[in-house]
Amino acid sequence: MNTYTLLYYPGFYPNPIWLRRILLLADDLTRIVPTGVPTQDSPELLALQEAIPECLRSISPEARDVEIENHDMHRLTKAFAFLGRSRKPTSRDKVEMVFSNDGSMSISGHTFLHHEKVSPKIYDELSRHKLMISGLEESLDLGGFLAVEKNASNLILSSIAESISLRMGLDTITDEPVPFALNSLNTLGVTQLARKDSAEGVLLGSLASILIPLDVAILNPRDYRGLRDAYSSIRAAFKELTAELAGINRLNHIQDPKSLRDRAKVTAVDFFKEYRDFRKTRYARSFKKWAPLYIGGALSMIAKVAAPNLALGIAGASLGIQVIQKQLERPADHPGRQRIFNMLAGIRKDILSRSGIKQII
């Protein structure tokens, strides 16, 4: 079965909590890292990758991906000119640098963009509109990175992501807000058009933020992997669901990125209302005694140290719980979205239960 892979941008390091939510509904994420550039993942990201190998992969952009000016240099020039005029006058004279205890450095209003992601023509445009701190890479050892104004950097990175997504057939996704003042750029007619390959990624991000409880952040990596493995079928279901919802709501026809994000949020909220209404039906109430699959494992573990008569009852309950979950996942028994609703109810309940498993035991 084909995996549901998403192309992440603009940075190297997705928010760990956001990533946990996404990885329950998608198989893996691919991030854009230039060749030879080492990543310095946080302990949370490293622990997640150790528990779920290959969940966060890396890909290097090719020359054709970086040469974004080939698509529409006129619009890019207008965008850079607008961003250059929008900068505060004081920012042209002073640079605020912040050094952290871990040795990292940041520059107010700027992002470090690797030179392999900047073609010569784009480099010249950034310099011409003073959207880059020239000469800084010569004064400091930045490892091939350039200090580029944040909005301009996000414009470049989102364009590169779109190029890669078209070349590889991947949906793009980001945990960042809209890169810059789209409404202002719209008045100039220079904003990027939302590509069809971004609609499903934007929608999945909205669905994950609404459907997956924040308590997923509390789970240790081992419990998180167990939860994810128990609900592996939900990822295939959501791959079809996002395509269906995007088509029904005509998200693929929206060209303005901000409008796309707003419509995706509304679509996700409407889906959650549909799910909530289903859970209130008599059919759903008949499964109130249902418990997630992992409880079966927990009960079996307790059964080993319980009295013989009690252990027999616990083992029976464990088997019954597992059988019920398998029945819920059978598409023939629950056509349409009912199967997805049942799995969602299970994964939401399982997250809440696992985050307080000591109290339950």
- In terms of phi and psi (left: phi > 0; alpha: psi -120 to 50; beta: otherwise), the region of 36 is left
* Token pair in block for residue 273: 């209302």
* Token pair in block for residue 13: 């390091």
pLDDT of 40 over the 60 cut: yes
pLDDT of residue 111: 84
Q: Tell me: the pLDDT tens digits for 161-173?
A: 988 998 998 999 9
**Sheet containing 171-173: order of strands:** 56-59, 28-32, 5-8, 171-173
d(CA 152, CA 55): 29
**DSSP for 109-175, written as a single string:** TEEEEEGGGS-HHHHHHHHHTT-B-TTHHHHS--TTEEEEEHHHHHHHHHHHHHHHHHHHT-EEE-S
Confidence band for 249, pLDDT divided at 50, 70 and 90: very high
Residues in the chain: 361
Mean pLDDT over the full length of the chain: 78
For the ranges 62-66, 81-85, 192-196, the lowest mean pLDDT is seen at 192-196
pLDDT (average), residues 19-35? 95
**Residue 264: closest CA among 248, 280, 275:** 248
pLDDT of residue 234: 94
* Token pair in block for residue 157: 């990175």
pLDDT of 186 over the 60 cut: no
pLDDT of residue 257: 76
- In terms of phi and psi (left: phi > 0; alpha: psi -120 to 50; beta: otherwise), the region of 294 is alpha
Collapsed DSSP state (helix, strand, coil) of residue 307: coil
Q: Tell me: the pLDDT tens digits for 134-160?
A: 776 666 667 788 888 888 888 888 888
pLDDT of 321 over the 50 cut: no
pLDDT (average), residues 237-255? 90
d(CA 186, CA 181): 9
For the ranges 110-124, 189-203, 242-256, the lowest mean pLDDT is seen at 189-203
- In terms of phi and psi (left: phi > 0; alpha: psi -120 to 50; beta: otherwise), the region of 317 is alpha
* Residue 109 CA neighbour count, 13 Å, CB half: 16
pLDDT of 323 over the 60 cut: no
**Residue 59: closest CA among 12, 108, 16, 24:** 12
pLDDT of residue 312: 47
**Residue 79: closest CA among 89, 68, 90, 88:** 68
Q: Is the peptide bond before 177 cis (omega within 30 degrees of 0)?
A: no
pLDDT of 61 over the 50 cut: yes
pLDDT of residue 193: 45
For the ranges 57-66, 282-291, 348-357, the lowest mean pLDDT is seen at 282-291
For the ranges 70-74, 81-85, 244-248, 266-270, the lowest mean pLDDT is seen at 70-74
Confidence band for 208, pLDDT divided at 50, 70 and 90: very high
Residue 59's beta-bridge partner residues?
32
Q: Are 228 and 354 in contact (CB under 8 A)?
A: no
Q: Tell me: the pLDDT tens digits for 81-125?
A: 888 887 765 545 566 666 666 656 677 788 888 888 999 999 999
pLDDT (average), residues 183-205? 65
Task: Map tokens 């349409």 to a residue.
Answer: 336
Confidence band for 198, pLDDT divided at 50, 70 and 90: confident
* Token pair in block for residue 148: 């580029």
pLDDT (average), residues 212-238? 94
d(CA 150, CA 132): 9
**Residue 83: closest CA among 132, 120, 147:** 132
**Is this prediction's pTM over 0.85?**
no
d(CA 64, CA 82): 25
**Residue 71: closest CA among 175, 154, 160:** 160
Taking the mean position of all CA atoms in its chain, how far away is CA 261?
14
- In terms of phi and psi (left: phi > 0; alpha: psi -120 to 50; beta: otherwise), the region of 169 is left
pLDDT of residue 212: 95
d(CA 83, CA 74): 14
Q: Tell me: the pLDDT tens digits for 303-317?
A: 444 454 544 454 444
**CB-neighbour burial class of residue 70 (10 A; exposed 0-12, middle 13-18, buried 19+):** exposed
